[in-house]
Structure 1
Amino acid sequence: MTIATPKPGQYAIDVPRSGITFTTKHMFGLGTVRGSFRLRSGTVSLTEPPTGSRVHAVADAASFATGNKNRDRQVLSKALLDTATYPDIVFTSTGAELDEAGAWALQGQLTAHGVPAPVTFTVAKAEVDGDEIAVEATATVDRYAHGVTRLKGMAGRRLQMTATIRARLIGGGSV
């Protein structure tokens, strides 16, 4: 992969090569839980200037996995994510800007459990390979902001999320 400026245009997220990982605390902060979600679909619209760029991504809530079947079953149930009622977790960016550290920050809305709440993803890595981009971005998500408040103390309130996205330019580019 070479580092270069990506072409403006509409990019389709390559779902099998993209995903979301997270870490959180449990047992009153004593243990660390690591897990993942699969993406269902998404697009990245890159503009010139980059501040007009947008991202829309949909994760499959039922793909929540930590490697512990009992924990996963409880998180997927009505007690927490209620994935039968709310199958999607959706991020839609509303703006992009350079932060004080010189990193790109994508502000937007994350809708989980049917409740939208603001979140900012900070781009940690961005690479270009021809008509393909690879982006890694991180955010802290507060589950209480989405109405997921059960099991206080037993399940962590905040998740440190990392989205790893690969996307390919659709058509010839230019938005």
Structure 2
Amino acid sequence: MKRLAVLLFATLVGASAQAAEYQIDTKGAHAFVQFRIKHLGYSWLYGRFDKFDGSFVYDEAKPQDSSVQVTVDTTSLNSNHAERDKHLRGEDFLNVGKFPTATFKSTSFEPNGDGKALLKGDLTLHGVTKPITIDVSEIGGGKDPWGGYRQGFTGTTEFKLKDFGIDYDLGPASQTVEMILDVEGIRQ
């Protein structure tokens, strides 16, 4: 009986040891929160948020138990044009004086094969919280040269600005913003 208890304990410890928490590597510039939106329907305007942090829990054996949380400093918006950035940070768009952060917290992770998954969660942007779905692909994972372990993913999603209370009229071709998320995490 004692041997069975030891075996059960070892199995439980081994199973829980596989799930790991990862800190998103923003200090090493190995993670990016980027966006693009059509400019008048003629070209793409790209930008990014330079400051954000977050973490995720991932277990390769049980990916459905994964979770993510991220906080973005909206004041760090950067579209490579100072006057445009000032406008995008202003009341017509992000209103960073009133809403200096955006957050994402996952509610589910649904693997669908070949390292792909649907990550669902709540995005709070511009003071509005709405569910979104991110199409995720696993890039890879393994030991790094400094004795740590890393895991990387890429994801995309899109949403209408009006859904988050941003109703500045950019024309019919510029109603939806696309987000491109590249994340490398360091196992803790």
Is the 2:115–2:137 Cα contact (8 Å) retained in structure 1?
no
Q: Is 1:86–2:104 an aligned residue pair?
A: no
Residue 44 of structure 1 corresponds to 56
Task: Name which of 6, 9, 14 aligns with 2:25.
Answer: 14
- Give the 3 Å change call, closer, same or farther, for CA 149–32 of structure 1 in structure 2: same
The corresponding residue for 2:175 is: 157
Distance 1:102 1:149 in 2: 36
Residue 31 of structure 2 is aligned to residue 31 of structure 1: no
- Identity between Structure 1 and Structure 2 (%): 24
Report the TM-score when normalising by structure 2: 0.79
Listed as ranges, the gaps of 5+ residues in structure 2 are 1-17, 144-148
Please tell me the residue identity of whatever aligns with 1:76: R
- Please tell me the root mean square deviation across aligned C-alpha atoms, in Å: 2.0
The one-letter amino acid paired with 1:132 is: R
Unmatched segments (≥5 aa) in structure 1: 1-6, 171-175
Q: Matched residue of 1:15: which SS?
A: coil
| TM-score, structure 1 normalization | 0.85
Deviations 1:25-79 (Å, cap 9, x if unpaired)?
122x123101111242101012452112100011111111111222211110112
Structure with max Cα Rg: 2
Conserved? CA contact 1:41–1:58, under 8 Å: yes
Superposed displacement of residue 101, structure 1:
8.3
Give the 3 Å change call, closer, same or farther, for CA 133–100 of structure 1 in structure 2.
closer
Which protein is richer in helix relative to its size?
2
Moved more, 123-132 or 95-104: 95-104
Between the aligned partners of 1:60 and 1:112, the Cα distance in structure 2 is: 11
- 1:11 CA drift (Å): 0.8
Counterparts in 2 of 1:142 and 1:154: CA distance versus 1, 3 Å: closer
Contact 1:125 1:136 in 2 (8 A): yes
Distance 2:100 2:175 in 1: 20
Structure 1 residue 141 displacement after superposition: 2.4
Maintained 8 Å contact 1:39/1:57: no
Contact 2:161 2:177 in 1 (8 A): yes
Give 1:74's match in structure 2, choosing from 62, 65, 87.
Answer: 87
**1:115 partnered with 2:128:** yes
Q: How many residues align?
A: 163
Q: Which residue of 2 aligns with 1:144?
A: 162
Distance in 1, matches of 2:175 and 2:137, equals 23
Q: Deviations over 1:102-160 (max 9, x none)?
A: 72110011111011111111113421022111111111122111101112418822111
Higher relative contact order (CA 8 A, sep 6+): 1
Over 3 Å counting, the alpha-carbon distance change for 1:124 and 1:165 in structure 2 is: same
